[in-house]
Every structure is written in structure tokens, then in C-alpha cells.
A = this chain, B = another copy of it.
């Protein structure tokens, strides 16, 4: 079966190719009669425009990329749904790319995307990303970028984040009010902007409640689960914290493992809370207190910002949106 092209339609209808093209694009300069005829035949023959030809000619692909650091996380999958809802609604395709928390993979993806000529990019940085050098080609080529959740300082891109400082502050206060006075902070990644804000919120809460922040109570961790468990065990045994604040979900999971291995019970011996969008946190043993980020909304807003940029091309008008998280209090922080 041959592919139906405009040429084929034109031949069968005794019209020129441009006329058929314009008819299908509902141009004002084509008579209703012709439009009807063209559409009828197109439908009958199941005509499908060739997107490569169209993109080549128009120099845009109606496709945006969503670059996320981790695919098996509820947070990012909710983001994805929010993005797709908005994008599909406006006729855009979304291609999802995962950096696996690696700066090398992120850089490679970014190169591919530039080559691939997506119209715009939504990106949340990998754990290893510390600056925006690898994104400068987007600025040069005037490809709009919106950063979300994990942003980068000093880059001319709009962003959508959640109120990390405030939610972290509130969560820390919750621990303090539940009689914790030696609260450890499990930090993730090299220099992630959102984690830094969470750290600041935690430190400020300690200060405000006369528990002075202590760098010895900050433990920096990476991706490897087994390694994290070991480090957390040693940290607990050495520093004897009465609570741990996990800055990302999987560090809480590692803490559950660590506690099991050294026979500590949560929350009796150690209280625990974490940033997490896992709705099954309520079935953990014990149920985990979580700070839940507005993931779907972050996705929606990011996509909306990006699509506006695509429409207006005012790349210099930078907007920074912030949406509130919510805390679900559960047994892991109970007295």
C-alpha cells in the first residue's frame, strides 16, 4: 500500500497541490466547496500528512521534550501526566527523556534534543548537575526552556517549583514540637537547588527554636541504595539523632532498611519524615509522614509556561512560579 500524499489527492481531484494543502489547513482563501471535496477524499483515502516534510518546511515540530532525572518515581510520573494533559490539549507531542540522575546522560540527551529540533524543553536536573553550561546551546538557538523542581541558578529560564523552604521549615517544626532535639538531615545530590532550600528551611527552624544547626547532623548521600543504608546505619550509631529528615523519598526507604538492620523502631527510637509523593506511604511499617509536592500542578504549570513562550517568543520574560506542598502527618513522627 502506497502512502497517500498531497500529490495523490491533487491528482485525483484535479486540483493543484497547494490548493489541497490549503484546503486541509482550512485556509480562508479556499472555497467551502473545495474544502469539502478535499476533506472527503482525504478521509476516504486516510490521508496522513508527513510530519517530517511539514517540520522541515515550517521549522517546528509541535513536539516538546520532558527531561526528568528518574522515571520510577511517583513524583515525576505525576509531573508527566500534568505536562501531557496541557501539551496534548494544545496539539503538542511530549517526548520523555530520563537522565538517570547522571550529568553525562543529561548532557547527551540535551544534545540529541537540539539535533532533534524539539520546539521547547521542560527540564529537572540530575543529581550530579551543578551548573547550566550544557544548556547554553538552548539560549543561543533561542529554544525555550522551563526548569521545574530542580532548577539551576543564573540561567535565563523560567521555573516552576514548590515552596521547599517553607515546607521544610514546617516539617522541622513538627519534629521539634514532637520533642526531637537532635534532628539529622539526609541530603541528596551535589548541589540541587531544591534540596538546598530544604536544608535552609530545616536550619532556620532549628535556629528559631534555639536548637543550633550542627553540620555533623547533615549526611550527604547519593544514588546507590546499599551504600546509603550502610552510611545511614553508621550515622545513626555515631550521631544518635532522635529524628531524621529525608530530603528525598528513597533516603527514607534506606532509613527503614537501616533501622531494621540495627533494631531500632520508628518512631520510638527515631522519628522519620520525608519528601515523598508515594500514596502507599500510609501502608508502611510504620506509616510515613510525608511532605507531598503538588506534582501534577507543577507539570501543568511548567507546560503552560513553555507553550506560552512558544507562542509569544518573549524568551526574556522570565517567570518563577511556586506552588505549595502539603504535609501528611503519620505514625513515623508520632510521640
Q: Which of A's residues lie within 8 Å of B, judged by CB? A: 1, 3, 48-53, 55-56, 61, 71-72, 74, 77-78, 80-81, 84, 93, 95-96, 98, 100, 112, 114-117, 140-141, 253, 256-257, 280, 283-287
Q: In the complex, A79→B100 CA distance in Å?
A: 14
Task: Rank and list the top 3 A-B pairs by shortest CB-CB distance, nearest first.
Answer: A72-B77, A285-B285, A52-B56
Known: A98-B84, A117-B52, A141-B1. A283 touches B253 (CB 8 A): yes
Please name all residues of chain B whose beta carbon is closer than 8 Å to the beta carbon of A96 when the two chains form the complex. 95-96
Q: Which residue of B lies closest to A1 (CB)?
A: B140
Name the B residues within 8 Å of A80 (CB-CB).
Answer: 71, 98
Stoichiometry (number of copies): 2
| CA distance in complex: A283, B50 (Å) | 51
Contact of A95 among B74, B95, B115, B280 (CB under 8 A): B95
Q: A283 contacts which chain B residues (CB < 8 A)?
A: 253, 256-257, 284-285
**Cα distance, A257 to B49, chains bound together (Å):** 49
The smallest beta-carbon distance between A295 and chain B, in angstroms, is: 10
Once the chains are docked, how many angstroms separate the CA of A140 from the CA of B81? 32
- In this complex, the member of A3, A55, A280, A283 whose beta carbon has the largest number of chain B beta carbons within 10 angstroms is A283
Q: Given A283-B256, A284-B283, A285-B283, is A52 in contact with B49 using a C-beta cutoff of 8 Å?
A: no
Which chain B residue has the least Cβ–Cβ distance from A71?
B77
Give the residues in chain B near A257, CB-CB below 8 Å: 283
Q: Which residues of B contact A284 (CB under 8 A)?
A: 280, 283-285
What residues of B have a CB within 8 angstroms of the CB of A56 in the complex? 50, 52-53, 56
**Roughly how many angstroms separate A223 CA and B58 CA in the complex, as a whole number?**
41
Q: Do A115 and B51 have beta carbons less than 8 Å apart?
A: yes
A72: chain B residues at CB < 8 Å are 74, 77-78
Tell me the smallest distance from the CB of A156 to a CB of chain B, in Å. 16
> Would you list 29 pairs from A and B whose C-beta atoms are within 8 A, ordered by A residue?
A1-B140, A1-B141, A3-B141, A48-B115, A49-B115, A50-B117, A51-B115, A52-B53, A52-B56, A52-B61, A53-B56, A71-B71, A72-B74, A72-B77, A80-B98, A81-B98, A81-B100, A93-B95, A93-B112, A95-B95, A96-B96, A256-B280, A256-B283, A257-B283, A280-B284, A283-B284, A284-B285, A285-B285, A285-B287
